[in-house]
Amino acid sequence: MPNSSKIDIRSLDLVALQQHFVAMNEPAYRAKQVYQWLWEKSVRSFEQMSNLSKELRKKLDEQFRINAVSISNAQFSNDHTIKNAFRLHDGNIVEGVLIPTDERMTACVSSQVGCSLTCKFCATGYMDRKRNLNADEIYDQVVLIDQQAKENYRIPLTNIVYMGMGEPLLNYANVLKSIERITAPDGLNMSYKRITVSTAGIAKMIKKLGDDGVKFNLALSLHAANDEKRHEIMPITEHNSLKALAEALKYYFQKTKNPVTYEYIVFNNFNDEIQDAMELAKFCRHVPCKVNLIEYNPIQFADFINAEGDKIDAFATYLRNNGINTNIRRSRGKDIDAACGQLAVKES
């Protein structure tokens, strides 16, 4: 555990950091140098800040701490996916995944330790939510996965998806701050268009995304366009009905002009009939969108089964015939429990 009497330096913005430097009788421009080391160069100790005097580095070390995230364990899938167990400064573990394909190199990152939602098909939903991640802890996952991509595949990250452990919109401020640091010219300088935040559907927070005029992509885990079915697998729907979600999405689109992606896991004998596709097509009329049909990945807590291939193909054909941009997503990293819905920390 870090010394709690020290200030978490990455919790400070540049102005606050400059104020601390003035209080330390140090020139304010030094704060900008430190900020650059922290966010552009992603260093994890004051000792690495080579353009600062040894005396200043010692002073920083006495007053501040850097809550660095480290890789506790990395598992390599047969399909080259890499699943990481990230150890946080307080000993908690979250998981994040590097997903390499021919076209892109994607980091899937977590936003909470555990999850407060209880989606029946998701392994994380069977864990308790211990706490939210800070912005720098989300940022560190991206940095570490980017390093992994370069080391293993000699290609930098191209995309980031907030689809790991936790519900990003229930850690709203830290998620948005992490994205600000990832996209900032004095941060990682990645494009907003390369970032997707996925939500189980918190209607009031989707509206807040609209109010804040966010530029990143939004994905909604839908999985059924029928309140009764959706509530059966996602108890969140009690306060976030399809009607409430439709209103929130329309508001979001009106404010941002960003189309939405619907994620739809096709479960055998549950939501895989043409009637289900008809309901989804109807829901798709609310805002410009595309649909990702996702293969179900088994978990030990639930007995759902992936729909048959011909059912998924027929489902996709129906949507496409109704003018809906539809992709069928094949699972990656299933053999190491790194696929969608399989992330759950098994170590104590």
Q: Looking at the structure, do residues 167 and 231 belong to the same domain, yes or no?
A: yes
Contacts (Cβ under 8 Å, ≥6 apart) of 180: 135, 187
48 and 137 co-located in one domain = no
Give the sheet arrangement for strand 105-108, strand by strand.
Answer: 70-76, 82-87, 93-100, 105-108, 159-162, 195-199, 217-221, 260-265, 289-294, 325-329
57-70 pLDDT tens trace: 999 999 999 999 99
| Domain identity same for 128 and 29 | no
Percent of the chain surpassing pLDDT 90? 76
pLDDT at residue 145 greater than cutoff 80: yes
Last residue of a domain, one of 65, 84, 106: 65
Residue 330 has pLDDT above 90, yes or no: no
Q: In this structure, are 253 and 123 located in the same domain?
A: yes
- Residue 347 domain-assigned? no
Same domain, 53 and 137: no
- Are 142 and 79 part of one and the same domain? yes
Structure confidence at residue 303 (pLDDT): 72
Tally of domains in the chain:
2
The two three-digit tokens of residue 152, written as one number? 């293993």
134 in the same domain as 45: no
Answer yes or no: is 17 within a domain. Answer: yes
Looking at 28, 48, 65, the residue that finishes a domain is 65
In the structure encoding, which two tokens stand for residue 209, read together?
A: 């995304």
In a domain, 1, yes or no: no
| Chain Cα centroid distance, residue 315 | 27
The verdict on 184 and 124 lying in the same domain is: yes
**Both tokens of residue 177?**
């701050």
Instruction: Specify whether the CB–CB gap between 96 and 141 falls below 8 A.
Output: yes
In this prediction, residues 232-258 reach a mean pLDDT of 91
CATH number at residue 13: 1.10.150.530
- Alpha-carbon distance 91 to 336, whole Å? 22
Domain assignment present for residue 342? The answer is no
pLDDT band per the 50, 70, 90 thresholds, residue 343:
very low
Does the annotation count 115 as an active-site position?
Answer: no
Q: Is residue 138 included in any domain, yes or no?
A: yes
In CATH, what number is assigned to the domain containing residue 175? 3.20.20.70
- Mean of pLDDT values over 83-97: 94
Q: How far apart are CA 243 and CA 246, in angstroms?
A: 5
User: Residue 135 above 90 pLDDT?
Assistant: yes
One-letter-per-residue 3-state SS of the chain: CCCCCCEEHHHCCHHHHHHHHHHCCCCHHHHHHHHHHHHCCCCCCHHHCCCCCHHHHHHHHHHEECCCCEEEEEEECCCCCEEEEEECCCCCEEEEEEEECCCCEEEECCCEECCCCCCCCCHHHHCCCCEECCHHHHHHHHHHHHHHHHHHHCCCCCEEEECCCCCHHHHHHHHHHHHHHHHCCCCCCCCHHHEEEEECCCHHHHHHHHHCCCCCEEEEECCCCCHHHHHHHCHHHHCCCHHHHHHHHHHHHHHHCCCEEEEEECECCCCCCHHHHHHHHHHCCCCCEEEEEECCCCCCCCCCCECCHHHHHHHHHHHHHCCCEEEEECCCCHHHCCCCCCCCCCCC
Residues 202, 203, 208, 214: is their CA dihedral positive or negative?
positive
Q: Which of 108, 115, 119, 340 is catalytic?
A: 340
Query: Do 135 and 31 fall into the same domain?
Result: no
Residue of 26, 47, 95, 232 marked active site: 95
**Does any domain span residue 346?**
no
Rounded CA-CA distance 193/183 in Å is 10
In the numeric block, the tokens 């807590």 are attached to 301
- The answer to whether residue 289 is catalytic is no
**14 and 107 both lie in a single domain:** no
**Which of 260 and 2 is assigned the larger pLDDT?**
260
Token pair 């913005």 is found at 13
Average pLDDT of the chain, as a whole number: 90
Q: For residue 341, what pLDDT is reported? A: 45
In a domain, 2, yes or no: no
| Residue 325 and residue 240 in one domain | yes
pTM of the model: 0.91
Query: In DSSP terms, which residues pair with 159 in a beta bridge?
Result: 106
Residues 46 and 96 in one domain: no
343 belongs to a structural domain: no
The answer, yes or no, to whether residue 116 has pLDDT greater than 90, is no
Q: 3-class secondary structure for 284-302?
A: CCCCCEEEEEECCCCCCCC
Entry field: residues in the chain: 348
Structure tokens at 344: 């759950």
Give the residue from 50, 65, 80 where a domain finishes: 65
User: Residue 212 is part of which domain span?
Assistant: 70-336
Residues 11-18 have a mean pLDDT of 96
Amino acid at 29: Y
For residue 342, what pLDDT band results from cuts at 50, 70 and 90?
Answer: very low
The strand pair at 159-162 and 195-199 is best described as parallel
